[in-house]
Amino acid sequence: MAKFDVYDLDRKKVGELDLADAVFAGEVNEHLFYEVVKAKLASDRSGTHAVKNRSLVSGGGKKPWRQKHTGRARQGSTRASQWVGGGKAMGPKPRDYSYDVPKKVRKAALRAALALRNRDQKLLIVQEWKPAAPKSGAAAKVLAKLGARKALVVDAGANAALAKSVRNLDGSDFLAVEGLNVYDILKHDALVLTAETAKQLEASLS
């Protein structure tokens, strides 16, 4: 078990939290980042690219001239790919680029990402952060005091006021703990967790 300092929103230490080394202080395997992020970006591709082949281009139903004895090359349709206005041969078709990474790999990559932020001293744990109302200005001041201006803030999805406060800040974002992923951790300079969230991650990733 490793001890982590717990801060209030003014970055004053208010306690310590024991968390599993295997989750927050383990090996940083960067190859796992590559595998998981590549899968995530592939899944984000819309895959809607398409062109019209000769069966989709309108017209060209009639054979332009007879088969033999014209002195010209044989043609079956004016919508073949060699004609102006014809369909494209072997063009791209809509497809799904997404693929799954094994669950064990995803968990291992997430543990490595948490360990990376901890190693770089960019992992901050606050006692709690429950604003009474959404206020982006107040959230920006808190992140400035924490030294994490461009941060990923993670808490329970029910904390709507915090989510609305953070998501409007340039360079910062909010994620529910259930949606925490490697891509968003690496995308931001710092990671801010609440004490309750850190314990949930420890339980789910152990």
Residue that is written with structure tokens 């801060």 in the block: 7
pLDDT attached to residue 1: 83
pLDDT attached to residue 139: 96
Per-residue pLDDT tens digits for 137-185: 999 999 999 999 899 999 999 999 999 999 999 999 999 999 999 999 9
Residue 4's beta-bridge partner residues? 17
The DSSP string of 135-189 is -HHHHHHHHHHHT-SSEEEEE-TT-HHHHHHHHTSTT-EEEEGGG--HHHHHHSS
The stretches in the chain having pLDDT less than 50 are none
Closest CA to 25 of 99, 148, 101, 112: 112
pLDDT attached to residue 149: 83
